[in-house]
Amino acid sequence: MITPTDELAIRQISALPPEILLLEAQAITEGFRFLTRLIADWKDGSNRFDQPGEGLFGAFSNGQLVAIGGLSNDPYAGADIGRLRRVYVWRAARGQHVGKALVQRLLGYAAQNFSVVRLSTDTPEGAAFYLRCGFRPVEDDFATHVISFSDVG
């Protein structure tokens, strides 16, 4: 659990931290395989979040990775539309605003390059979380939520 005295740092990362394997193992126990895909895509070079406007960010508590998330060009939409991907928060860090801080950092980065960011989640908890982060539901074959920077105050 993260305590109030723990230091939280969110930064763009250019290499997968070793702790990604711990997050992956926990995600698998929860039925999520998207960190496994993140690691495989990173290793084979098919997605390293290194195209213009893209980025992979980690949230670190006392130097340890506790959350991760990426921003990419949305392959299902126009060139000025980004996609939030592979967002995962270590179970012990949930409910402590780590995920929201990470998403806010990702959106701040996205606003420099995209007019809209979309995502897809398949859990009620994920849907509620993204609503709290300012996204709105959308009916689309390739997205469940969207945020437009023209709508942000």
pLDDT exceeds cutoff 70 at 39: yes
pLDDT band at 150 (very low <50, low <70, confident <90, very high): confident
pLDDT of residue 5: 56
Least confident of 3-12, 78-87, 132-141: 3-12
Q: Cβ distance 143 to 76 under 8 Å? A: yes
Residue with tokens 């539309």: 81
The distance in angstroms from the start CA to the end CA of the chain is 33
Q: How do 116-119 and 145-148 pair as beta strands? A: antiparallel
- What's the mean per-residue pLDDT of the chain? 95
Mention the CATH class of domain 8-148: alpha beta
pLDDT band at 78 (very low <50, low <70, confident <90, very high): confident
Residues 90-120 pLDDT 10s: 999 999 999 999 999 999 999 999 999 999 9
Q: How do 145-148 and 136-137 pair as beta strands? A: antiparallel
Residue with tokens 């213009």: 52
CA distance 50 to 62: 26
pLDDT exceeds cutoff 80 at 79: yes
